[in-house]
Amino acid sequence: MALMQWSEELSVGVVEMDRQHKKLVELINRLYEAMSSGQGDDVKKDVLGELAMYTKVHFAAEERLMRECGYPHLPGHKALHDQLTAKVRDLNAKVQAGQMVPSVSLGGFLKDWLVSHIMQQDKKYAQFLAAPVR
């Protein structure tokens, strides 16, 4: 069973960003499912490595979009991206080195971060993009 489901409530109304958010949901679910079925240690390294790489790709695309449209809150938004990138990089390094990372808390952390980030931060740039006059 998946840890989280994509819903239209999470949509920011930008096709490419929604597609990338769905990919992040898929990666978090793959990690959670591997951990739930006892494959956590075997699959965790691969999925967490892929998640670390994909967050960089997604954040770069999102920041480029915000820069191109003149989003005034880009610096603060980028700082949040940088914080998560550092956290995921740290978790990935620990997993790759064979250090103990609690699987359940890892899945919950990633889900909670993604949902709250989309709902509280990404929705702001979506509103900015949708505004008739900037």
Q: Do the beta carbons of residue 81 and residue 117 sit within 8 Å?
A: no
Query: Mean of the pLDDT values across residues 11-16?
Result: 95
Mean pLDDT across 90-119: 84
Q: Sign of the C-alpha dihedral, residues 26, 30, 36, 37?
A: positive
Beta-carbon contacts of 72 under 8 Å, excluding residues fewer than 6 positions away, are: 128
State yes or no: pLDDT of 104 exceeds 90.
no
Q: What is the pLDDT of residues 42-79, one digit of tens each?
A: 677 888 888 889 999 999 999 999 999 999 999 999 99
Which domains are delineated in the chain? 14-130 (1.20.120.50)
Q: What is the pLDDT of residue 14?
A: 94
Residues 21 and 26: their CA atoms lie apart, in Å, by: 9
Task: Read off the pLDDT of each residue in 19-38 and give the average, rounded to a whole number.
Answer: 88
